[in-house]
Amino acid sequence: MPKNTFYNLSDEKKTRIFDAALQEFSKRSFSASSLNQIIKNAGIPKGSFYQYFDNKEDLYLCFLEYASKENAELLSNFKGMEPDVDVFETVMNETREFHEKGKIMPKYIEVAMLMAVDNSEFILKIRKSSTDRYVKMVERDKERGLIKPEVDSELVINMISAFSYNEYFRNGSDKERYLKNLSNALKIIKDGIKNTEITKE
């Protein structure tokens, strides 16, 4: 847990620290990340950092909490689940939105990707809760007769998120290419699980 001195800091300084943390934690996994790099980017002296946090782990945990709050706020705009839009369109729209919004969000994707490798219990919990929302969308689409009922909803979401993370990394700065590939992959999955029976009345 960060010390009181951290919470007493100006918002501007706190933001600067979190921004620097985001830069670093989205580039390297926790164990490979450099605290020196973070404080350099944040423009705060080494000594000051240790006035605010116990150590690197302390910062990481605090950062994750902050990041998931940021995340939740942004996603709340979409929570509505518009009735005419299927899960694939939603994923695509939200991803596109991520990129248009300040370009900060995609960095969180990288953080998540690097977290996935660490595979700690703590991270599994966060990931689970973030995919649940999409799993529910798949299930809704099943009920609407758009998707074969025997399909494993969680598996579909795992396919999408795995590809999304991976592809995001692979394409580096070429975001257009990433979005195009994601769109193509979504189309393949959609065609692969679409309900061919005419059960709609």
Partner DNA sequence: TCATTATATGACTACCCGGTCACACTATAG
Partner DNA sequence: CTATAGTGTGACCGGGTAGTCATATAATGA
Gap between the terminal Cα atoms of the chain: 57
List the single partner that 80 binds among DNA, a copy of itself, none, CB under 5 to 8 Å by kind: none
3-state SS, residue 147:
strand
Tell me the per-residue interface mask from 1 to 40 with DNA, x by CB under 7 A, - otherwise: ---xx--xx-----------------------xxxxx---
- Give me the amino acid identity at 127: R
Shortest reach from residue 27's CB to DNA, in Å: 11
Give the one entry of DNA, a copy of itself, none that residue 33 binds, where binding means its C-beta sits below a cut-off of 5 to 8 angstroms depending on kind: DNA
Q: Which residues contact 24 (CB under 8 A, 6 or more apart)?
A: 33, 34, 37, 38, 41
DSSP string, 85-127: --HHHHHHHHHHHHHHTTTTHHHHHHHHHHHHHH--HHHHHHH
The one segment of 40-48, 51-59, 64-72, 168-176 that binds a copy of itself by CB under 8 A: 168-176
74 CB contacts (<8 Å, ≥6 apart)?
A: 98, 101, 105
Q: Which of 15, 46, 93, 119 binds DNA (CB under 7 A)?
A: 46
Residue 25 CB, shortest distance to DNA, in Å, is 11
Q: How far apart are CA 177 and CA 107, in angstroms?
A: 17
Q: With respect to a copy of itself, which residue has the nearer C-beta, 116 or 126?
A: 116
Name the residues that contact a copy of itself, by CB under 8 A: 29, 31-32, 114, 116-117, 119, 151-152, 155-156, 158-159, 161-163, 165-167, 169-170, 172, 181, 184-185, 187-193
